[in-house]
């Protein structure tokens, strides 16, 4: 049998191989590890069609058949290593001579051949014994998986048969005569693929990605199989490179490119059926190759998004910021995929707005599912946006109302925000964004990297975390010291060299260090920098208060000020609530 080159690679892991071996062993062997008479084990069905050379093409069952072939090779090798005679029947199960139907000549063939590129001839090397197992280079995922399966089988034989050749031969005889399967033979490849689809129409043993691949081959003429095979490899390689889950990509692809019933959602186990039901809409039936190319294009953009880049592969600061907020977050990719066609500046503005909304959901503790549920509703209109006016209308219709709905909760959370209520990396993000905003108002565009990725910048506790007894005693609310230390109002960014010098002393001893900081939000604690009249610097710091002492009232006042500043950063176009005016 041949496994065609368009088939998926060998993916079984140790637990899959162990399960097959244990099932067979437990079915055939009793407590004394001796064979049980008349026992049988059904391993399932395989689907084949006859190739032009008279060899069966294996369409469904590759994982089981490859593993079974490895079992035979491992038994043979175990017997050889034990200096025992290898039965001729075993040799014939691994390789045999057959007649070439086209030439009439005898032809030596292994009973199973893997034709997909990822196999790198590893099965032939194991079967031929020309290369020691330990010398075979683990060049691809399939090679690694196949060699790992072979090692698992060898260990199984060692553990269960105590190096007894007679018992291993008995196991071989049982395995080849009592393990049963159903072979479904079809007249051609198209029929075989359709049978495969029918057997797996509920995803049994396969996921939607595998079934979608099969569906595409059904709809594609055989002359285009090599091209489709290459397209699919490009798609899977792209997703693998960015370590993305293929099913999540497919789900977000559908949500971003097509209209779905968002009230019902779209589960991963329903993806394949969705493609089957909508094969005309997505173009699978008419133009399967173009559909595959669309998947590749969106997957490339998807991988760029995962790297904090725009659809052209250029760095995008807002996507980078979202990754800083939650590196594993992917829900926003739905909108990014829907807006892939936007001009670079429009796409950048979309990302800025997504960052603001995403942060509002996080800070107000809105469930991530709610955020994800909204995006498929918005995607159809975003796909239709062509220009700046269209994007403004889209944002006005969807983003602004959603931000406004979170406004009151946003203000409350910032009034209570402390290190005990939010994860440390998110607190650093918040301080970085606030600090960046003030500096940008004064000096122009500045990247957040210098604030958040710079190891020479620390989070400074103005009221020290580890105070001397005198500092704690001097604080006006010593019983609540720990609460005030963790508050947002007590935190600021400070250069490492300055942070080391101010240490854990009282506020009066830290003032000089704060004056030396290049961060205006920190420097303004003790002085208000001024340059000329009505300059951008003066305007940037005009609402930043200075403090002559650092007591509970100072921390509360600065916390309120930072809350107001936060609205300018994340809710710039949303009117303040009455509680914050």
Q: Same domain for 393 and 431? A: no
The pLDDT of 54-73, averaged and rounded, is 88
Q: What is the mean pLDDT of the chain?
A: 87
Q: Give me the pLDDT at residue 204, please.
A: 42
Q: Same domain for 371 and 229? A: yes
Q: Give me the pLDDT at residue 60, please.
A: 82
Torsion of CA 257, 261, 262, 263, to 10 degrees: 180
Residue 25 domain flag:
yes
Q: Same domain for 268 and 164? A: no
Q: Same domain for 519 and 563? A: yes
Task: Answer whether 380's CB lies under 8 Å from 259's CB.
Answer: yes
Percent of all residues in the chain with a pLDDT value above 90, rounded to a whole number: 49
Q: Same domain for 237 and 97? A: no
Q: Same domain for 259 and 173? A: no
Domain C-terminal end among 391, 413, 435 = 413
Q: Same domain for 189 and 224? A: no
Q: Same domain for 327 and 195? A: no
pLDDT higher than threshold 70 for residue 103: no
Domain carrying residue 150: 2-199
Looking at the 3D structure of the chain, how many domains does it have? 3
Q: Same domain for 95 and 115? A: yes
Say if strands 41-50 and 179-186 run parallel, antiparallel, or are unpaired. parallel
Residues 415, 418: Cα–Cα separation, whole Å: 9
pTM for this entry:
0.70
Residue 437 domain flag:
yes
Q: Same domain for 304 and 440? A: no
Residue 418 domain flag:
no
Q: Same domain for 64 and 170? A: yes
Residue 381 domain flag:
yes
Other C-beta atoms within 10 Å of 77: how many? 18
pLDDT: is 173 or 52 the higher one?
173
Q: Same domain for 233 and 108? A: no
b/e per residue, 31-45, with b = 16+ CB within 10 A? eeeebeeeeebebee
Q: With 0-12 CB in 10 A as exposed, 13-18 as middle and 19+ as buried, what is 508?
A: exposed
pLDDT higher than threshold 60 for residue 201: no
b/e per residue, 151-189, with b = 16+ CB within 10 A? bbbbebbeebbeeebebbbbbbebbbebbeeeebebeeb
Residues 545, 156: Cα–Cα separation, whole Å: 73
Task: Answer whether 307's CB lies under 8 Å from 317's CB.
Answer: no
Task: Answer whether 39's CB lies under 8 Å from 178's CB.
Answer: yes
């Amino acid at each position: 049998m041949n496994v065609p080159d368009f088939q998926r690679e060998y993916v079984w892991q140790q637990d899959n191989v162990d399960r097959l071996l244990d099932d067979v062993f437990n079915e055939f062997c009793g407590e004394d590890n001796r064979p049980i008479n008349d026992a049988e084990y059904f391993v399932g069905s395989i689907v084949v069609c006859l190739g032009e050379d008279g060899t069966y093409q294996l369409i469904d069952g590759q994982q089981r058949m490859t593993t079974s072939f490895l079992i035979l090779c491992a038994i043979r090798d175990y017997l050889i290593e034990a200096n025992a005679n290898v039965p001729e029947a075993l040799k014939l199960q691994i390789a045999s001579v057959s007649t070439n139907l086209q030439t009439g000549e005898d032809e030596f063939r292994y009973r199973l051949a893997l034709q997909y590129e990822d196999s790198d001839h590893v099965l032939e090397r194991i079967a031929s014994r020309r290369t020691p197992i330990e010398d075979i280079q683990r060049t691809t995922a399939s090679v690694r998986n196949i060699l790992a399966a072979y090692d698992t089988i060898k260990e199984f034989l060692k553990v269960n048969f105590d190096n007894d050749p007679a018992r291993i031969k008995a196991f071989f005889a049982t395995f080849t005569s009592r393990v049963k399967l159903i072979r479904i033979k079809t007249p051609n490849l198209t029929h075989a693929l359709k049978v495969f689809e029918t057997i797996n129409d509920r995803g049994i043993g396969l996921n939607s990605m595998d079934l979608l691949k099969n569906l595409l081959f059904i709809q594609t003429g055989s002359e285009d199989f090599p091209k489709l095979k290459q397209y699919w490899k490009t798609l899977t390689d792209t997703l693998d490179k960015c370590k993305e889950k293929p099913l999540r990509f497919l789900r977000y692809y559908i949500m971003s490119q097509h209209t779905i019933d968002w009230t019902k959602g779209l589960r991963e186990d329903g993806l394949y059926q969705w493609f089957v039901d909508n094969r005309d809409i997505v173009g699978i039936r008419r133009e399967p190759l173009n559909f595959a190319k669309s998947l590749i294009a969106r997957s490339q953009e998807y991988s760029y998004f995962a790297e904090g880049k725009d659809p052209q592969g250029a760095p995008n600061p807002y996507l980078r910021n979202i990754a800083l907020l939650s590196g594993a977050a992917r829900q926003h990719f739905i909108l990014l995929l829907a807006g892939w066609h936007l001009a670079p500046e429009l796409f950048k503005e979309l990302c800025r707005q997504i960052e603001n909304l995403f942060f509002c959901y996080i800070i107000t503790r809105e469930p991530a599912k709610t955020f994800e549920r909204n995006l498929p509703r918005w995607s159809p209109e975003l796909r239709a946006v062509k220009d700046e006016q269209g994007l403004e209308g889209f944002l006005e219709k969807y983003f602004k109302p959603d931000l406004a709905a979170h406004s009151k909760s946003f203000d409350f959370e910032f009034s209570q925000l402390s290190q005990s209520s939010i994860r440390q990396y998110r607190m650093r993000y918040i301080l970085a964004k606030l600090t960046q905003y003030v500096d940008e108002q004064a000096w122009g565009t500045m990247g957040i990297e210098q604030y958040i990725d710079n190891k020479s910048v620390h989070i400074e506790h103005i009221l020290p975390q580890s105070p001397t007894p005198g500092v704690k005693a001097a604080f006006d609310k010593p019983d609540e010291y720990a609460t005030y230390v963790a508050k947002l109002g007590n935190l600021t960014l400070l250069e490492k060299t300055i942070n080391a010098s101010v240490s854990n002393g009282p506020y009066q001893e830290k003032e000089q260090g704060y004056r030396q900081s290049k961060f205006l939000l920190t420097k303004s604690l003790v002085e208000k920098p001024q340059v000329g009249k009505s300059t951008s610097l003066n305007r940037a710091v005009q609402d930043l208060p200075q403090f002559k002492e650092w007591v509970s009232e100072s921390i509360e006042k600065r916390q309120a000020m930072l809350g107001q500043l936060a609205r300018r950063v994340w809710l710039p176009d949303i009117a303040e609530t009455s509680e914050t005016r």
